[in-house]
Amino acid sequence: MQTLRYTQLLEEAGFTRNEAEATVTILENAMNEEFPTKHDFKILELKLESKINELEYRLIIKMGAMNVASMTILFTLLQIFR
């Protein structure tokens, strides 16, 4: 955050030096506590990638199991109706 520049802008708008510094400090603290950082987004991205990979793996396993089951049914029916 450009603390000095924002303080100067507030002073130019009529704030006293103390008011401007206090306002900038309050806003800076609020932004640091409330807004996610690039690091926060990177962590979220990694968690989402991991979850997507896990779900993809589970889907592949389920599709494979369904394929085996359908082939078993098909071969069983072919044996019955031969």
Number of domains forming the structure of the chain: 2
Q: Are 78 and 72 in contact (CB under 8 A)?
A: no
What is the per-residue pLDDT across 11-54, written as a single tens digit (0 to 9) for each?
999 999 999 999 999 998 888 777 888 999 999 999 999 999 99
Which pLDDT does position 1 carry in this prediction? 59
- H-helix segments, the chain: 3-12, 17-34, 38-80
Does 61 share its domain with 76?
yes
pTM above threshold 0.85: no
Segment 62-66 shows an average pLDDT of 97
Does 43 share its domain with 11?
no
Counting other chains too, the contacts that 53-61 makes at CB distance below 8 Å and 24 or more residues apart are none
Which pLDDT does position 10 carry in this prediction? 93
Which pLDDT does position 47 carry in this prediction? 98
What is the extent of the structural domain holding 15?
A: 1-35
CA distance 3 to 30: 14
Does 49 share its domain with 21?
no
3-state secondary structure of 82: coil
Does 9 share its domain with 27?
yes
Does 29 share its domain with 42?
no
